Structures are given as structure tokens and as C-alpha cells.
Amino acid sequence: MHLHREGTPTLLLSTALLCFLLFAAWRWMAWPQWLLISLTLALLLVYAIVVLFFRVPRRVADADENSVVAPADGKVVAIEEVTEGEYFQDRRRLVSIFMSPLNVHVNWYPISGTTSYFKYHPGKYLVAWHPKSSTDNERSTVVVKHPHHGEVLFRQIAGALARRICTYSRPGSPAAMGTEFGFIKFGSRVDVLLPLSATVEVELGQKVSGCNTVIARFES
């Protein structure tokens, strides 16, 4: 496991702030020692959470080409048939994964193929499980065309805490299942929109592991 490059500015600022607060507390605050120790432990705990947020686990996708793997860690919060109005303009099967601030926030390609579409949308910061977050929040849409099963759309959606979506996909670039295509800072969600013919392999409330859990399958 290593730390994600997107965390460098945040981690540098957090380290400097932690050092300043600890120095100021122990140097200038006339508090009892037990209170200073408690403050130190609390600050170190918050710092550890920030560091862990940017962790990047070592994972390898070993699913077959008929599988769609989870693009993110988290919990399945929606499985439904919806009308996709940005790209397909038709009915699709939606699988939505909510990522809490404690989840890994790396995003992985759910299928292999070629990137056929990318668009970033500025927007609001509603809580990620809000019904309108898919259309009103800051988000990035990526479509990958599989050589045998057609196109799959997946959308990174900012949440109430997220303030930056990082997407590395660009039209024409190759996509390999289980490789990184983006990162979202703090709480957020990822929607996957599948053809209606795809069979969903997860249930509502199920916790999934990005790159590893098969969330759907295409017909062979």
C-alpha cells in the first residue's frame, strides 16, 4: 500500500498544521499535562484518518471479460432501471456505490476497452445519497466501449464533503479493468449504468471492494 499523489498538498498542509498546533500547545498553553496529552492524541488521530484517506491498496482484477467489477469501495445504495439522459438517452440499469470518508477513494475501471466519452460537470455538493446528486452535484462522466459487450457509463459524483473530483480518462485512451481512472477527495459516490441485458450480481446494502467485487455480468 502507498499514498495517492492527489493527497500530497493536503498531507503537507496537515503535517505543517499538526506540528504548529502541537508546538503551540506544549510551548504556550498552561494546561494540565493530562489535557495536553489528550489533545495530542486527538490531533494524531485526526491526522491518521487524513493519511489513511489517501491510501492506495495493491489490488489486481482477476475477473473474466464478461464481468463488471466495482469501480470503488463502499456500499451499494441503489439498484434500479433509470433513463440516462446525458449520453445514451435510453433506459439503463443503475448500480450506485456510496463511499464514506473511511473508504478507499481510488476509482478503478470496471471493464476493459476504449474510452469513448468524458465530460466534467461543475455543480452542487448535496449529500451523495440525495436523489438529485446524480444530476445536480459536481461530477465526471466516463464511457468505456468494451470490444464485445458495448458501452458502459460510470459517473464520479461529489458528496457534501468532496470538493475535488480527479478523472484521468480521455476519449480514445485505453481502459483496462482494475486500473485506476480517478480519485475523489472525501465522501462521494460512483454510479455505473449498464445495458438492461446485464445481470446484476450485488444486492442493496452490500459492501463491495473496488477492483475485486463483480457487480454485474454480461451474457457470454
- Measured CA to CA in angstroms, residue 212 lies from 22, 93, 94 at distances of 40, 20, 19
Nearest to 68 by CA among 196, 213, 216, 209: 216
C-alpha dihedral over 140, 146, 152, 155, to 10 degrees? Answer: -20
Residue 199 burial (CB count, 10 A): 12
Please, how many CA atoms are within 13 Å of residue 114, restricted to the half-sphere of its CB?
5
What are the percentages of helix, strand and coil residues in the chain, rounded to 5? 20, 40, 40
Cell 489486481 -> residue: 60
Q: Identify residue 157 by its one-letter amino acid code.
A: I
Strand partners, 87: none
- The C-alpha angle with vertex 90 and arms to 192 and 99, in degrees rounded to 5, equals 15
- Indicate which residues carry an active-site annotation: 188
Residue 20 burial (CB count, 10 A): 10
